[in-house]
Amino acid sequence: MLRSSMQSAVTMGQLQQKLDIIGNNLSNVNTPGYKSREADFSSLLVQQMDNLDKEGENANRVTPDGIRIGSGGYLAGTEMDLSRGPISQTDRPLDVALRQDNHMFQVQMNNNGAIETHYTRDGSFSFSANEDGSVSLVTSNGNPVLGENGPIRLDGNFDSFSIQQNGSIMVARNGEVAQQEAQISVVEAVRPRLLQAEGQNRLSIPQNVDFNEAEILTNVAPENNSMQQGALEQSNVDLAKQYTDMLTTQRAYQFNSRAISTGDQMMGLINNLR
C-alpha cells in the first residue's frame, strides 16, 4: 500500500471523529449549561530522512535538515470550553443559573449500586414526590441535587418557596414568614480541564487522575455563591464557529479521499508499465 494512501486513510478516520464532535455540539446548542467540545490534533510517528551529504551545507535553509515523513494525524484529545454561556430568563421558580465561571451544582448518582457525586451547570430542577410526603430537588434527569447535608428534601404542603442568590432555599408554611430549610451545595472547579464528561450534561473526577479531589474541586461558601432564580444558563456553542469547523473538516476529509484516489491511479499506471 502506498505510504500516501495509508496516511490519508488514517487521517480520514480521525477527521470523522472530529465531525462527530462537531455534530454533538450542534445537537446540544439548546441544552442548558452544555459546554462545547473541540478536537485537538497531533501528528503520528514521523520518520526523519537525512538526505544531505554535508551537515549545514545550505546555510540559508530555515527548516531542519533532511525530510520528515509523517504517518498521518490523530485525535490527541478533546478540549472542553468552560466559558459561561448566556443566561436567559425563564421565570420558572425551579430554574437556577450559576453566574460564576467554573461553579457547578453537585448531583448524586447511583452507578450500579455505587453512590457517586457528579457535577453539572444545568440548573433546570424539579420536585420529585417521596412516599413519606416530602419532595426531593432533582435535575432534569431525575438525579438528586446535593445540599450541605446530602440530597435536598423538603417537607410537603408548603405555601411557597424561593431560591436566594446564595443558594439558600426559603420556604413559607401556614401563612408565616419564609424560613431557610435547605442550602444548595456548589463547588468550584480549580482544575476544570481534569474533569471528564459522563453524558447527560454531567462531569466527574476521573479515577486515574494524579490529583486528589481537593486539588480539583473546592467547596464554595454560601456568601460567595451567585445564583439567579427563574433563569437558565444556555449552551456556549458558537454556531458560526461550529459550521466553519464543519466545512473545514469536510474539505480536509475530501482532500485526503482524493489523495487515496490519486495514489490508486498512480499504482494503476505503474502496473501497466510492467
How is the chain split into domains, by residue range? Answer: 3-41+74-82+237-272, 87-233
CB 28 within 8 A of CB 230: no
Query: Left if phi > 0, otherwise alpha if psi is -120 to 50, otherwise beta: which for 20?
Result: alpha
> How much is the mean pLDDT over the chain?
87
Distance CA 12, CA 75 (A): 11
Distance CA 33, CA 205 (A): 18
pLDDT tens readout for residues 93-137: 999 999 998 999 999 998 888 899 999 999 999 999 999 889 999
pTM here is: 0.76
pLDDT tens readout for residues 34-93: 989 888 877 666 666 665 556 656 667 777 666 666 667 778 778 888 888 999 999 999
Q: What is the pLDDT of residue 54?
A: 62
